[in-house]
Amino acid sequence: MATPNKETLLDWYRQMVLIRRFEERCAELYQEGLIGGFLHLYIGQEATGVGAVSALTEKDHIITAYRDHGLALARGLDPNAIMAEMLGKRTGVSGGKGGSMHLANRDLHFWGGYGIVGGHLPLAAGIALSIQYQDLDEVVLAFMGDGATNIGYFHESLNLSAVWDLPVVWLIENNQYGMGTAVDRASGATELVRRAMAYSSENGRGMKMGPRLDGMDVQAVHDGISEAVEYARKNGPILVESLTYRLEGHSMGDPQRYRTKEEVESYVASGPIGRFRKVLTEKYKNIESRLDEIDAQMLQVVDDAVEFARNSDDPTYEDLISHVYVD
């Protein structure tokens, strides 16, 4: 596997910082009442999103659940249009009608953003079936939480993908909790990737069991998902697990009684951005000023996005009744 060059590594750092700053600002805007509905932050999971998305070509496909801001930013959706969507403006990526949980962009093959746990997994299989039917050289990267692996759709979708050899990388983002429920209180098999065994045969037919990745290490995720994508492109479905941690509450206003402050603090100390910054400063001499510059630039990108969103128009009545039925 080719070793990424310095500019690529700096770009991963840039993306992770952008996600962090963008979401910190979203939390503030939520408190101000400018963002409504639910808001699920990706803070802590940036290395998984950036590492995984960077393993795809632009023709490959991404689909995920409601914790979608980080993946949308990593895929290159316009931060201005994402922020406008958060504020329900007509310039938003989904015309202001989707909000935080429903970010999408057809041109970038970013298919959203779904609020029903596991509900997007059959769609991932469907996109992969369409790829196979059209004989295209594309792969679907389907993100899901640990909690989603206990939903019936998970079983149905993974099983069908194995029966039909569909080109999907199923990626479990194991952030250790589904709302307030720890993995070992909800799952018989706590190494969730082992569930691949249920959809594979001894002769190698069916689902491949992929690795359990260190989801706090952007390079490790990139390498692991790159291999998985290559496998899926040639052979069919593979299940991968990324071990990560959600540093904020499940959504806004979560009192977090299900975990201790010490536990959270221990993950803050080994968080993905600080850890990668250390890797970069050890690898390249005098890189600090570049990193500081990136930090400042990303703050500016977020400031600009908020200004754009605030100055954008609300959807009109015509917008409200459009895209409901096919014209």
Ligand X SMILES: Cc1ncc(C[n+]2csc(CCOP(=O)(O)OP(=O)(O)O)c2C)c(N)n1
Stretch that binds Mg ion, among 57-65, 96-104, 145-153, 192-200 (CB under 5 A): 145-153
Residue 167 engages Mg ion in binding (rule: CB under 5 A) = no
Interacting positions 107-126 with ligand X (CB under 6 A): 115-117
CA angle 307, 311, 315 (to 5 degrees): 130
Residue 54 engages Mg ion in binding (rule: CB under 5 A) = no
Q: How far is the CB of 177 from ligand X (least distance, A)?
A: 6
Nearest alpha carbon to residue 139 among 165, 162, 118, 166 = 166
Stretch that binds ligand X, among 122-130, 175-183, 207-215, 273-281 (CB under 6 A): 175-183
Residue with Cβ nearer ligand X (113 or 206): 113
Q: Which residue has the tokens 């805007």?
A: 29
Which helix (H) or strand (E) is 295 found in, with range? helix 288-311
In a 3-state reduction of DSSP, which class is residue 208?
strand
Residue with Cβ nearer Mg ion (163 or 186): 186
Q: How far is the CB of 115 from ligand X (least distance, A)?
A: 6
Residue 215 engages ligand X in binding (rule: CB under 6 A) = no
Residue 175 engages ligand X in binding (rule: CB under 6 A) = yes
Residue with Cβ nearer ligand X (122 or 315): 122
Answer for the pair 169, 199: CB distance below 8 angstroms, yes or no: no
Answer for the pair 84, 54: CB distance below 8 angstroms, yes or no: no
Interacting positions 243-302 with ligand X (CB under 6 A): 246, 250
Interacting positions 223-242 with ligand X (CB under 6 A): none
Residue 175 engages Mg ion in binding (rule: CB under 5 A) = yes
Give the pair of three-digit tokens for residue 262.
Answer: 């010490």
Residue 189 interaction partner, one of ligand X, Mg ion, none, beta carbon < 5-8 Å per kind: none
Q: Which residue has the tokens 């496998």?
A: 231
Give the pair of three-digit tokens for residue 271.
Answer: 């968080």
Select the residue whose beta carbon is closest to Mg ion and give its number.
Answer: 145
Interacting positions 56-75 with ligand X (CB under 6 A): 67
**Out of 23, 60, 85, 146, which residue is the one contacting Mg ion (CB under 5 A)?**
146
Q: How far is the CB of 69 from ligand X (least distance, A)?
A: 12
C-alpha 137/C-alpha 249 separation (Å) is 39
Q: How far is the CB of 293 from Mg ion (least distance, A)?
A: 34
Amino acid making up residue 229: V
Answer for the pair 249, 256: CB distance below 8 angstroms, yes or no: yes
Answer for the pair 73, 22: CB distance below 8 angstroms, yes or no: yes
Task: Please enumerate in sequence order all residues whose Cβ is within 8 A of that of 250, keeping only pairs 6 or more positions apart, or say none.
Answer: 40, 177, 179, 180
C-alpha 127/C-alpha 119 separation (Å) is 14
Select the residue whose beta carbon is closest to ligand X and give its number.
Answer: 145
C-alpha 154/C-alpha 118 separation (Å) is 6
Q: How far is the CB of 72 from ligand X (least distance, A)?
A: 15
C-alpha 30/C-alpha 173 separation (Å) is 25
Residue 25 interaction partner, one of ligand X, Mg ion, none, beta carbon < 5-8 Å per kind: none
Interacting positions 3-22 with Mg ion (CB under 5 A): none
In a 3-state reduction of DSSP, which class is residue 214?
strand
Stretch that binds ligand X, among 91-99, 146-154, 262-270, 293-301 (CB under 6 A): 146-154
What is the total count of residues that contact ligand X (CB under 6 A)?
14
Residues lying near Mg ion in the complex (CB under 5 A) are found at 145-146, 175, 178
Residues lying near ligand X in the complex (CB under 6 A) are found at 67, 115-117, 145-148, 175, 177-179, 246, 250
